[in-house]
A and B are shown apart, each in its own frame.
Chain A
Amino acid sequence: MEGNRLPTDRITFKRIIKLLMIAAKVDMVWLLRDTRFAIMGILGDVINNLAMVSGVFLIAVRFGGIGGMTTDEVLFMMAYSTLVTGIFMLFGSSNNIHVSRIIGRGQLEHMFIQPLPLSTQLLTNGFSPFTSSSNFIVGVILMMIAINRLEINVSAVWMLTLIAYLIATMIIIIARAYLVSSIAFYAPVAAEEITYTAIDETWLLSTFPLSGMPRFVQIPLMTILPEGLMAWFPALILLNKIQAGLLAYYPMLFALLSALTAGYFFRKGLRYYVQKGSNRYVPYGFRR
């Protein structure tokens, strides 16, 4: 067989931006297609997320804090959690994070025929800044209120630390989604919704402050089911509530290990998929 004779286009930063732009444009025209329903949807998302975090916040208000965290510190943690949800929704609107749906429905084949690496497609095709940015914006507003009330000195280092923790949290979520989604390669019908079960069904737990909880609760929630790393632990570090030392880097280490594990099992699953094929194809939910 002959080698490559035709040029492959390189995936540059400019190309990624272009792909994000077209995803954003598609999102915008979808919003403009039926603005009333889109606004109702956006409001629904905001109410849903605010309800989720305000439940914990109201408990903190009623009892003057939770487990050693003051009401404003709880508000900060809720803001962090809302920001995470916001980023998740901002980049994950096309089942690219709920990837078990794509695998389980046999829809990876639509991706194979695109001249892009799967990673680039998964990174860019769920970007929806017009219809899914509401939680991110609410998260930013809550964060600003919490910072103001806590009188945090927002230095460049602090901002970079916040960004680093947000990235680590996102990597942990995505890695978890891809790790459990790997099961869908082998059991497409049974595991089609497994990401939803693994991520969304446990989301409520990640908004609860674990301060004051016994170790046998905290440790599993920092390791096996890492809900403690979704908002609580990063909030404690960012608020200087604990002198963690090297433990401060634990979320980054956990993110790295999770990404490597998920990458290994996802690639293994992908190899199985291209060897065995998918005898299931479902057209719904593929493109809106």
Chain B
Amino acid sequence: MSKKVQTDTCRTVFADNINCEKDSAICIKNVTKTFNQWQRDNTGKGLIRNLIKPEKRIITALDDVSFEVKKGEFVAYAGPNGAGKSTTIKLLSGMLLPTKGELTVLSMSPQKQRRTIMKHLGVLFGNRTELWWDHPVIQSFEWKKVVWDIPDDLYKRNLAMVTELLGLEELLKTFAREMSLGQRMRADVAMMLLHSPKVILLDEPTLGLDVEAKRQMIAFLKQLNEKEGTTIVVTSHDMDDLEEMAQRILLISKGKVAFDGDFTKLRDELECTKRAIVKFSDGNEQIIDYQNTNKLLAKLSKMDGITDVIFTQTSLEEGLANLYKKWKQ
């Protein structure tokens, strides 16, 4: 497991010498991934410069990242836009090569043993579909059975399971293009699970889903993790969803792991998690975010015309928004 060596404002930095357990589901060791970003301006001088020597900026998507996910864990992988979440998912699925460092999924290298890993890994990007667009859902499932070479009995068992748990009975004969986003996502998740993956990577699986579809998806993933012991890594911007699903959260910022722990610990580490809404006799109200209750009481005692004080907590989402803002600064 990684070793915590330093903590600053809500940032936990991990030691380089991470030692993953032999049977870890995911192990990322000192992984760095950089991309080139071409820079162009539309001035005459800029166009000429671009012809001779195009300007490029190096973007560090992941900067010496190390962490381990044990088998059976349900991990939330969160961070602001451009933090490196999707890059990590792509590295773990063998779609990208790391610039530096090494990573394994089920003790295998995604870059060297992609085919073997894919027999045991499920990957789903919320903004993409693996379904055949102009075919009924069951046709996509049958295609997957052949491509993944899923044995008959396993296919039948998994098909029955996902049909029941995801309520797909009525959707199996429906064309993918005619389904709503929520229905399509359920069908995509079902298809991903047909080969009984040991580890699943979900990039924004609740993206664009309505409240009911989201609830259904979350309940299903929790059940999958608890009953089948499937290791799940899920990225999302919706912190409430992540908190409901996962036991552990990995926060990533500017390509570095900024926090690794459970949600209670995260709440503790976030500043301004307590809030008082003060109502006045003239109808106005004031919101005070505080950490120290004595200081708050002292402040309140100096105020006139208070009719009511409501004590609440800032949401995790709000706390993180503040944190992201701070990181940007």
Contact = CB atoms under 8 A, between A and B. Distances in A.
Interface stretch (B72-80, B138-146, B212-220, B319-327): B138-146
Interface stretch (A1-9, A44-52, A215-223): A1-9
Interface stretch (A160-168, A173-181, A190-198, A280-288): A280-288
Contact of A6 (B87, B119, B149): B119
Contacts of B146: 18-19, 21-22
Contacts of A112: 93-95, 114
A200 interface: no
B113 A4 contact: yes
B147 interface: yes
A279 B35 CA distance: 10
B280 interface: no
Interface stretch (B104-112, B238-246, B261-269, B294-302): B104-112
A153 interface: no
Contacts of B118: 113-115
Contacts of B271: none
B311 interface: no
B142 A1 contact: no
Given A6-B108, A9-B149, A22 B97 contact: no
Interface string B105-138: 0111101011110111101000111111111000
A113 B93 contact: yes
29 contacts: A2-B108, A4-B108, A5-B108, A6-B108, A6-B116, A6-B120, A8-B113, A18-B146, A22-B146, A26-B135, A26-B139, A33-B135, A109-B90, A109-B95, A110-B128, A113-B118, A113-B123, A114-B147, A115-B119, A274-B96, A276-B35, A277-B35, A277-B87, A277-B90, A281-B127, A283-B128, A287-B131, A288-B132, A288-B134
A212 interface: no
Nearest to A115: B118
Contact of B133 (A6, A29, A109, A287): A287
A117 interface: yes
A1 B102 contact: yes
Contact of A1 (B94, B107, B119, B120): B107
Contacts of B127: 281
B36 interface: yes
B328 interface: no
Nearest to B140: A287
B22 interface: yes
A274 B123 CA distance: 17
A110 B130 contact: yes
Per DSSP, are chain A's interface residues mostly helix, strand or loop, or mixed? loop
Contact of A274 (B97, B102, B130, B149): B97
Interface residues of A, number: 38
A1 B133 contact: no
Contact of A33 (B102, B116, B134): B134
**Cβ-closest 7 pairs across A and B:** A115-B118, A22-B146, A2-B107, A8-B116, A115-B119, A274-B97, A287-B132
B116 A275 contact: no
Nearest to B132: A287
Interface string A24-51: 0110011001000000000000000000
Interface in B1-40: 22, 35-36
Contacts of A276: 35-36
A22 B22 contact: no
Contacts of B104: 1-2
A116 interface: yes
A15 B114 CA distance: 18
A109 B106 CA distance: 20
A4 B142 CA distance: 28
B57 to A, nearest CB: 13
A277 B96 contact: yes
Contacts of B96: 274-275, 277
Nearest to B103: A1
Interface in A233-288: 274-277, 279, 281, 283, 286-288
B135 A274 contact: no
Interface string A47-69: 00000000000000000000000
Interface in A74-121: 108-110, 112-117
A6 B198 CA distance: 12
A8 B22 CA distance: 20
B143 A7 contact: no
Q: Which of B87, B115, B123, B130 has the most CB of A within 10 A?
A: B115
Given A26-B143, A274-B97, A6 B135 contact: no
B207 to A, nearest CB: 14
Given A112-B94, A275-B97, A7 B128 contact: no
Contacts of A277: 35, 87, 90, 95-96
Contacts of A3: 108
B90 A8 contact: no
A8 B115 contact: yes
